[in-house]
Structure 1
Amino acid sequence: MISTLEKEITFRYLKTRKKDGFLNIISIFSFIGISLGVAVLIIVMSVMNGFRTELINKIVGFNAHVTVKPYDTSINKKELNQKSLEKISKELIFSNSGEAIIISKDYTKGLVLRGYNSLDFSKLDVVKKGNFTGQSNQLVKNSISIGKELSFNLSLGVGDTVSIMSPVGIETIIGSLPKQESFVINSIFDSGIADFDSNIAFINLETLESFFSLDKDKRNLEIYLKNPSNISDGKKKIQSIFNNEFVYTWADMNSSLFSALKVERNVMFIILSLIIIVAAFNIISGLTILVKNKTRDIAILKSIGVLNKSIIKIFFLVGLFIGTSATFFGIFLGILFSLYIENLREFLSNTFDISLFPEEIYFLSTMPSEINPISILIISLCSIFITIIVSIFPAIKASKLDPVKGLKYE
């Protein structure tokens, strides 16, 4: 417990006085340093969490949550009626894919073609929720839907014609020649990720299977889950149903990307925590100088019977108050900036005519921010813990002061 005397002396030492000018400067810089450290940590963690969430949403919105790929035999359609599958899935779509080369005027490019029938194509999130130009229910024979980025690169629009070359050859009297067909662009999609928009296109499922000479009985099953974020549990349940097929998820396809993001986030947390540590060491300097300045006061307190543990509490509370108040102020600043960081980015971009968040590099057109209460709690506890650690040494040093020596020259 903290006595009334300890509280009174603690608040007295926290008040600014003219003769403690240098000490006050150290205390102010300690407060500012810890506040900025906490605020920057919260802002960076919020932006990285927001970036990860937005990236996941765009990847999940464009790719199947879980894909079941048959090996030698086709997928048993009786398994689709299992109640355990119905509970976790919202859409079951059969598809197929292949790699080809798109040819337009003097431009050629490798391309991944995904095949769907018209009804299933209109169910995709990239069609329902994305920026989509054209008719989603017109994915018929020899029609193609391309990404916005690819349409810019090829200078193509809805109604234009492109040639697609398949790696599958056709036998002629002069030998095997690659199969080539013309397709009419009936729609243009915008997934929000330039890499997808420039490298993937959609065509009719039966046209794709004919174009690549694929077996219709070996189509892939795309499963769209009700809760795609809980992908590991969903994969286990689906794997138990389709135990003779190859099952992979959107997380498996992008594991290296999200592993890199996780490592980067952890490294940023460690590096930015050093700001708080450096600022907290100012508290040691401030308390050490305070102990030096209050030598006479400490000696008097000891001479009237104040215990050593009370002296420790007094100086410990001074450091703890500075660190705790700075932490809460940093939390306020961090949350405030995180909420309005996109408005700040727009203001700086428009004022100074600079691009602070290029879409072609970061895949996103706006700066995302997601405030995570758990992250804020961890940052706060770390900051207060560091404050506690650095406040202990000066407090113990004050308690060990000899009152006789303290009053000798007074």
Structure 2
Amino acid sequence: MANPRPFSRYEFMIAWRYLRARRAEGGVSVMTWISLIGIALGVMALIATLAVRSGFRAEFVDTILGANAHSTLYLPPSQIRNELTEEVYTVAGVIEDYAEVAARVAALPGVLRADPVVRGQVMASAGDRSGVAEVYGLSAEDLAAIPRVADPATGYGDITAFGEGVAVGAGMARELGLGVGDRVQLISPQGAQTPFGVTPRVGSYKVVYVFSAGRYDIDRTRIYMPLEEAQSYFNREGAVDEIQVFAAAPEAIDALTPALLEALPGSMVWTWRDASGAFLSALDIEDDVMFVILSVLVLIASMNITSGLIMLVKNKGRDIGILRTIGLTEGAVLRVFFLCGAFTGVLGTLAGVVLGVALALNVDSIMAGVNYLSGGGAWDPSVRGIYRLPAELRGIDIARAVGLSLTLSFIVTIFPARRAARMNPVEALRYE
């Protein structure tokens, strides 16, 4: 008579009855529950952590691409010698034929638009408050095309009146006590050249729009000024500092670099990856480290399955002897006790997935509650750069957590299951 195929129905039935057995009947229901809860909590923590890390990276990249250029084209500084004094001065590189350069860049395949920009740092003040600001001079059309800045859901004021004043970040407006209609004073150290030296340039501008880009460092330092006014204020008449390029595929921005360099001979390129690559690499490394650490927690929880199965094998020695006597092979006994551990791992993993998904979907609300109860100290935007704790559930992260949990659960059951399979039925029944 042929042996039944592996993992037959009776093997599942025996394994399930052993798991459901009460302690008085030789079961280990308490240990089973401990193992199941431990695995569920480990998988929940792993899924929630991976979702938060993915959400944090996605939010960070979205704020970069939504408020900053994908690539910047600029000329390097040059040196000028004074014929009278023989002194050498270093001057910033400027682009004089910027309209033509911007048109050539915008015509390149994969480029959405190219914006001429004047940039400079100033001290901004209003009343008795002051702070450092970074001014971007650009046209009203270019400002309206920046997604994170021109978003009516987060900004207030009249962005169409940009030609009459400046747009200020929400963080700077809050620190300086500015609102729409107020005036902000900008002081630049690079002003007019006089016989007595360079005098600071001071200008007063009306705030017509307040924006929130979603990044604390941007909202706290950035001011947008009309291009013509910025050219006059920073002594850039007829020139700009750089051409900001926005691509259709920001993730593949490096492929555009050769074409950008050809559009402006002698120029240099600075992409968003160059600006934030180190931080994104650190996030990737942190993701890997967190996965390894939480994998150890899942392994520790899975080890409870081994303890429970060892106790189960010891308590079921008589049953094992009887099963072997009536014809069960070593392989069948091994599969029965393997299924006991596998059931616990599968149920714990399923419970962990449900809890982890629920936690990831509500992590922002939970963090908001914790932040409220702690008086606002649990989430500091000035440290983390963004205003909320995001979470992004990805199928690959859930699959990694499930695969890890099931693999560890199956592996740790092999040793006690083999021990049960190798038990001598004569020895098991000798004292019965």
Q: TM-score, normalised by structure 2?
A: 0.85
Of 96, 101, 104, the match for 1:79: 104
User: How much has 1:218 moved relative to structure 2?
Assistant: 4.8
- Aligned residue in 1 for 2:158: 135
1:315-344 deviation digits (Å, cap 9, x = unpaired)? 111111111121111111111222233344
Question: Relative to 1, partners in 2 of residues 1:215 and 1:390: Cα closer, same or farther, differing over 3 Å?
Answer: farther
Instruction: State the distance in 2 between where 1:80 and 1:269 align.
Output: 42
Instruction: State the distance in 1 between where 2:362 and 2:254 align.
Output: 37
> Helix, strand or coil for the counterpart of 1:401?
coil
- Aligned residue in 1 for 2:259: 240
> Helix, strand or coil for the counterpart of 2:21?
coil
Instruction: State the distance in 2 between where 1:81 and 1:111 align.
Output: 29
Question: Relative to 1, partners in 2 of residues 1:348 and 1:108: Cα closer, same or farther, differing over 3 Å?
Answer: closer
User: How much has 1:393 moved relative to structure 2?
Assistant: 0.6
Question: Relative to 1, partners in 2 of residues 1:104 and 1:349: Cα closer, same or farther, differing over 3 Å?
Answer: closer
- Aligned residue in 1 for 2:242: 220
The one-letter amino acid of 2:50's match is M
Of 170, 184, 187, the match for 1:162: 184
Question: Relative to 1, partners in 2 of residues 1:185 and 1:262: Cα closer, same or farther, differing over 3 Å?
Answer: same
Residue correspondence of structure 1 range 360-375 to structure 2 within 5 A? 360-375=382-397
User: How much has 1:387 moved relative to structure 2?
Assistant: 0.8
> Helix, strand or coil for the counterpart of 1:125?
coil
The one-letter amino acid of 2:146's match is L
- Aligned residue in 1 for 2:73: 68
The one-letter amino acid of 1:79's match is R
- Aligned residue in 2 for 1:100: 122
User: How much has 1:239 moved relative to structure 2?
Assistant: 3.0
1:57-85 deviation digits (Å, cap 9, x = unpaired)? 22221111222223466564563364xx3
> Helix, strand or coil for the counterpart of 1:264?
helix
- Corresponding position: 1:272 with 2:294: yes
- Corresponding position: 1:324 with 2:329: no
Instruction: State the distance in 2 between where 1:359 and 1:172 align.
Output: 43
Residue correspondence of structure 1 range 337-356 to structure 2 within 5 A? 337-345=359-367, 352=373, 354-355=375-376, 356=378
> Helix, strand or coil for the counterpart of 1:187?
strand
Instruction: State the distance in 1 between where 2:205 and 2:174 align.
Output: 17
The one-letter amino acid of 2:17's match is R
User: How much has 1:170 moved relative to structure 2?
Assistant: 2.3
Instruction: State the distance in 2 between where 1:215 and 1:266 align.
Output: 50
1:291-312 deviation digits (Å, cap 9, x = unpaired)? 1111112122222332211121
- Corresponding position: 1:26 with 2:31: yes
User: How much has 1:390 moved relative to structure 2?
Assistant: 0.4
Of 50, 58, 63, the match for 1:53: 58
Question: Relative to 1, partners in 2 of residues 1:127 and 1:345: Cα closer, same or farther, differing over 3 Å?
Answer: closer
Of 8, 11, 33, the match for 1:6: 11
Greater shift, 188-197 or 218-227, is seen at 218-227
Determine what percentage of the aligned residue pairs are the same residue. Answer: 30
User: How much has 1:366 moved relative to structure 2?
Assistant: 4.0
User: How much has 1:20 moved relative to structure 2?
Assistant: 4.8
Q: CA RMSD in A?
A: 2.5
1:104-123 deviation digits (Å, cap 9, x = unpaired)? 33333222110012222222
- Aligned residue in 2 for 1:153: 175
Question: Relative to 1, partners in 2 of residues 1:171 and 1:234: Cα closer, same or farther, differing over 3 Å?
Answer: closer
User: How much has 1:364 moved relative to structure 2?
Assistant: 4.1
Q: TM-score, normalised by structure 1?
A: 0.89
Question: Relative to 1, partners in 2 of residues 1:18 and 1:349: Cα closer, same or farther, differing over 3 Å?
Answer: same
The one-letter amino acid of 1:297's match is D
User: How much has 1:167 moved relative to structure 2?
Assistant: 2.6
Q: Is the 8 A contact 2:169 2:222 kept in 1?
A: yes
Instruction: State the distance in 1 between where 2:324 and 2:118 align.
Output: 84
Greater shift, 281-290 or 164-173, is seen at 164-173
> Helix, strand or coil for the counterpart of 2:199?
strand
- Aligned residue in 1 for 2:80: none
Question: Relative to 1, partners in 2 of residues 1:97 and 1:267: Cα closer, same or farther, differing over 3 Å?
Answer: same
Instruction: State the distance in 2 between where 1:36 and 1:81 align.
Output: 52
Question: Relative to 1, partners in 2 of residues 1:234 and 1:364: Cα closer, same or farther, differing over 3 Å?
Answer: closer
Structure 1 gap segments, 5+ residues each: none
Instruction: State the distance in 2 between where 1:286 and 1:133 align.
Output: 62
1:202-241 deviation digits (Å, cap 9, x = unpaired)? 112122222222364454222223343xx2x232124334
